Amino acid sequence: MPAKDKILIVEDEKGILSFMTTVLSSNGYDVISANSGAKAITLVTSHCPDLVILDLGLPDMDGMEVLRFIREWTHLPIIVVSARTHERDKVEALDLGADDYVTKPFGTSELLARIRTALRHTRTAATSSSLATSGRFKAGGLEIDYDKRRVFVDGESVHLTQNEYKIVSMLGLYSGRVLTYDYMLRELWGLSTKENRQILRVNMANIRRKLEKNPAEPQYIFTEIGVGYWMREAD
């Protein structure tokens, strides 16, 4: 099964949140949600979504502040969804780094199309980077199919989130070499500070639970303490 894109919805209106969650889930996305700016920031840093849908009218802070915070350390796509129709609000959001601005009320087809476009732009950028590759990688029971973006262990397909797949595919591309924490953060998410290493740790813990028979004694992905991670060499 191909990796699913994880979308964070930041919305405090329960009805709209429920509607968007249902629509996105039924269209094959993994959905997480936040009803405040503070919770949104926590989820962005801990769950590493592939895209954020951000409402500007939040109870604890203005959505522009959340947008500004996210853009300080990552390039993940952000679609602002707001009832604010003034041109100045749209311009401010786009200037702060939003990838798109959708005015409420909006149609399901329009929202899905804008999501697909934002994700496609992100993938186009990734395809032109050093991570672009094709073919297969095999090391023991682990196999990465780069063309289909799928990972297998002992012949069984493993469900990875989009970010988990990015990490695994990168390590496979450079198998046998230690990739530093900062290098991975910079190449995968445009991050560079030590404070963001928690993102890698969270994702790596999830990856090991899915790939390794015993995460405490890994067979495929190893930690060079204080330096980074490396994957065993291909067979």
Q: Is the pLDDT of residue 127 over 50?
A: no
Q: Which residue has the tokens 């029971």?
A: 141
Domain boundaries, the chain: 6-127, 136-231
Percent of the chain with pLDDT over 70: 91
pLDDT, tens digit (0-9, with 9 covering 90-100), for 169-207? 999 988 888 888 888 887 787 765 666 788 888 899 999
Give CA–CA dist 221/152, Å, rounded.
14
Which of 10-14, 41-45, 93-97, 145-149 is most confident?
10-14
Give the burial class of 222: count Cβ atoms within 10 A of its Cβ; 0-12 exposed, 13-18 middle, 19 or more buried. middle
pLDDT for 29: 95
Between these two residues, 234 and 53, which has the higher pLDDT value?
53
What's the predicted TM-score (pTM) here? 0.61
The helix (H) or strand (E) run that includes residue 53 is: strand 51-55
Confidence category of residue 134, pLDDT binned at 50, 70, 90: low
Q: Is the pLDDT of residue 132 over 50?
A: no
Q: Is the pLDDT of residue 128 over 60?
A: no
**Dihedral of CA 54/60/61/67: which sign?**
negative
Q: 6-127: which CATH architecture?
A: 3-Layer(aba) Sandwich (3.40)
Confidence category of residue 40, pLDDT binned at 50, 70, 90: very high
Q: How far apart are the first and last CA of the chain?
A: 24
Q: 136-231: which CATH architecture?
A: Orthogonal Bundle (1.10)
218 preceded by cis ω (within 30°)?
no
Average pLDDT for 141-146: 93
Note whether 6-127 and 136-231 share their fold.
Answer: no
